[in-house]
Amino acid sequence: MKLLIQIILLCTLAIGSAYAESTPAPDTKTTAKSEALDRDSVCTRCHDENESKPILSIYQTPHGNKADSRTPSCQSCHGESEKHLSSKSSAPDVIFGTKSVGSHAPSEAKDQNKACLTCHGKDQKRTHWESSAHQAADVACTSCHETHTAHDKVRDKKTQPDVCFACHKDQRTQINKFSHHPIGEGKVACADCHNPHGSAGPKLLVKNTVTETCYTCHAEKRGPFLWEHQPATEDCTNCHTPHGSNITPLLKSRAPFMCSECHDGPHVSKNPAAGNVEGLQGGLTVAPSESFTGRACTNCHSMVHGSNDPAGALLQR
């Protein structure tokens, strides 16, 4: 009898062990998704499609993609908000946006941004957010971004400029001038040249200098040249205004007046056909100034960015 009991016990243990080995371990990712949905349900049982501001549309965005284990819950951004759960008169811990929601004023920009940077601060494009121009001006992430909508205007090349122009009104005027980058046409966006989250370069540029930024598109102006034009290699904005101008191509003023800002001496020439005024100055025949003659400097000095011709020292070829 004892032997029979021992055999039964051994069989039971063997069956239990085999069952345990065949049963898969709980999927931690599935568990995390379930927990995130459970946490969201605490909020969405009140904040549903009847809200004046879209709430449930967040599930059409990456922030609501529960198939991704990195996706936050409502509490990840707005805080646990225990007082708000017990009384609607109490505000959530963090209120995003720039306008009041009912009787609740938005949280300070630094508190809103802290919630966003908890996840997005790891992105290398936001390395320079601290001390950037937007951060110093207390601009909140939600001043530009919309999180509860499937279409975030600032991330769309066609609609992004309108978001930026809400503050940068001078630039809105400039892009409507005769000569401009095709921003209004939707071919170029502000973020093609600027990194709104901060930069090591000036003016929040995507590169360290103006010329490096311009060369990302205008590679033919990069050189290296045998004969360089120093203002062009130093800073493109010495001659060009990047957002728009009434002088093509995006020039700050017309030649010869712009050229005269640097080349302010008399135009010396030994060419009698150039309309020289007879008279000696230091042994050379002196021509009148280009302003007097009204000639465009680029009629002769056409290689204004630089020349690789052995005889191009004067940027004429």
Average pLDDT over residues 254-272: 71
Cα–Cα–Cα angle for 309, 312, 317, rounded to 5 degrees:
80
Domain ranges of the chain: 109-215, 223-307
Instruction: Name the pLDDT band for 104 (thresholds 50, 70, 90).
Output: confident
Q: How far is CA 128 from the centre of its chain?
A: 12
Question: CB–CB of 8/14 below 8 Å?
Answer: no
Q: Name residues whose C-beta falls within 8 Å of residue 230's C-beta, 6 or more positions apart in sequence.
A: none
Q: What percent of the chain has pLDDT over 90?
A: 53
Strand, helix or coil for residue 188: coil
Token readout for 53 is 């501001």
Tens of pLDDT along 133-189? Answer: 999 999 999 999 998 988 999 999 999 999 999 999 999 999 999 999 999 899 999
- Whether 154 contacts 140, CB under 8 Å: no
> Average of pLDDT values for 225-253?
94
**Beta pairing partners, 307:** 227
Q: Measuring CA to CA, how many Å separate 7 from each of 12, 18, 19, 301?
A: 9, 17, 18, 104
Whether the pTM exceeds 0.85: the reply is: no
DSSP bridge partners of 268: 286
Selected residue with higher pLDDT from 277 and 243: 243
Sign of CA dihedral 128, 205, 195, 220: negative
pLDDT number for residue 279: 45
**Per residue in 249-262, pLDDT tens?**
999 998 888 888 88
Average pLDDT over residues 104-113: 93
Instruction: Calculate what percentage of the chain has a pLDDT beyond 70.
Output: 79
